[in-house]
Amino acid sequence: MFQRVIATAAVMAAFAGVAPVAAQDAQAEALFDALRFADIIDIMREEGVEYGGQIGLDLFPAKVGPSWSATVERIYDADAMQAEVKAAFVASLEGDDVATMATFFDSPLGRKFVDLEVSARRALMDDAVEEASQALAAEARKDGTARFELVDAFVQTNDLIETNIVGALNSNYAFYSGLMAGGAFDDVLTEAQILSDVWDQEPDIRATTSEWVYSFLMLAYDPVTDEELATYTAFSTTPAGKQLNTTLFAAFDGFFDGISRELGYEAARMMTGAEL
C-alpha cells in the first residue's frame, strides 16, 4: 500500500511538471519568433550557400557544377536549419527567465532593435554596403565618437568579439574534421596539426570579426537614440539578458559546427572522387 501511494504521488508530481514546462517551451518558441530568428536563419542560409560555392571553387574548381550545388543546398536546408536551431534554443532556455526576455523583446523598443538588426544583416550581404559600413565604423573608432563608445559598451557587455572568435575557430575546426573524415588528407595531417593550423588563423579571425561586428552594429543602431542604445545595453547586463546571450551562441554555434563538419566531409568526397 505504501509503495502504491509513493508511486501515485510520483506520477502526480510528474504530470504536475508537464504544464509549467510546456508553458515555458511555448514562451521560448514565441521568443524565438519575436527575435525574428527565422529571418536571420534565412540570411545565414543564403550566406552559407554562397560560402559553399566558394569552397568548391577553392578546393575543386574543375568539379563545381550541379552536383556540388545540390549538395550545398541540401546541407543548408532552410526547414531543417530552422527546426534544429529552434529546438536547441528552446532546450537551452529551460529553467531560465524567459518571461523577462519576452517582456523586453515584445516591447516597442525591443522590436525596434530586432528589426534593425535583421535589416542590417541583410544589407551587409551587399558588398558595397559592407565596405561603406566598415569604412564608417573604422572612422568612428579612430575619432572615438560618442556613438562608437556606446556601441563598444554593448559589444563588451555581450562579449561579442571573443564569443564570435571562438565560434569561428570551432567552425573551422569542424570543417577540417569533416575533410579528414572524408579522406581529403590521406592521413597525412594529424588532429594535432589541424588544431595548430586552425589556431594559427586566430589573429586574422580576430581582425575580421572585430571589423564585422562593429560595422554591423554601427549600421544597425544608427537610427536609435543614445538613450535607447544605453537601455538595450542595460538589459544585456541583467541575469535574463546574460542568459539569453549565452543561449544564442550555444544554439547557433552548436548547429553550425555540424553544418561545417558536413560541408567539409562532402567537400572531401568531391576532392577524392568518392561521390562518383
Average pLDDT over residues 202-226: 97
In SS3 terms, the chain reads as CHHHHHHHHHHHHHHHHHHHHHHHHHHHHHHHHHCCHHHHHHHHHHHHHHHHHHHHHHHCHHHCCHHHHHHHHHHCCHHHHHHHHHHHHHHHCCCCCHHHHHHHHCCHHHHHHHHHHHHHHHHCCCHHHHHHHHHHHHHHHHHCCHHHHHHHHHHHHCCHHHHHHHHHHHHHHHHHHHHHHCCCCCCCCCHHHHHHHHHHCHHHHHHHHHHHHHHHHHHHCCCCCHHHHHHHHHHHHCHHHHHHHHHHHHHHHHHHHHHHHHHHHHHHHHHHCCCC
Checking if the pLDDT of 5 tops 60, the result is no
Q: How confident is the model at residue 255 (pLDDT cuts 50, 70, 90)?
A: confident
Q: What is the pLDDT of residue 114?
A: 98
Asked if 232 contacts 113 with a C-beta cutoff of 8 angstroms, the reply is yes
Model pLDDT, residue 225? 98
Rounded to whole angstroms, the Cα distance separating 22 from 29 reads 10
Q: Supply angle C-alpha 229, 233, 238, rounded to 5.
A: 145
Rounded distance between C-alpha atoms, residue 134 and residue 124, angstroms:
10
Q: State the pLDDT confidence band at 3, using cuts at 50, 70 and 90.
A: very low
Q: To the nearest whole number, what is the mean pLDDT of the chain?
A: 89
Give the model's confidence band at 21: pLDDT under 50 very low, under 70 low, under 90 confident, else very high.
low
**Nine-digit cell at 115?**
528589426
What pLDDT shows up at residue 187?
A: 72
List the grid coordinates of 59.
Answer: 578546393
How much is the pLDDT for 49?
96
Please report, for the chain, the start and end positions of each structural domain, with discontinuous segments joined by +.
Answer: 2-272
Q: Which three cell numbers stand for residue 99?
A: 518571461
117-150 pLDDT per residue, tens: 999 999 999 999 999 999 999 999 999 999 999 9
Out of 32-46, 56-70, 183-197, pick the least confident: 183-197
Looking at the predicted structure, is the pLDDT value of residue 8 above 60?
no
For the chain, the straight-line distance linking the first and the last C-alpha, in angstroms and rounded, comes to 67
Tell me which amino acid residue 58 is: D
Nearest to 75 by CA among 265, 268, 263, 271: 263
Instruction: Of 34-38, 50-54, 246-250, give the lowest mean pLDDT range.
Output: 246-250
Highest mean pLDDT among 10-19, 79-88, 247-256: 79-88
Residue type, 128: A
Higher pLDDT, 18 or 162: 162
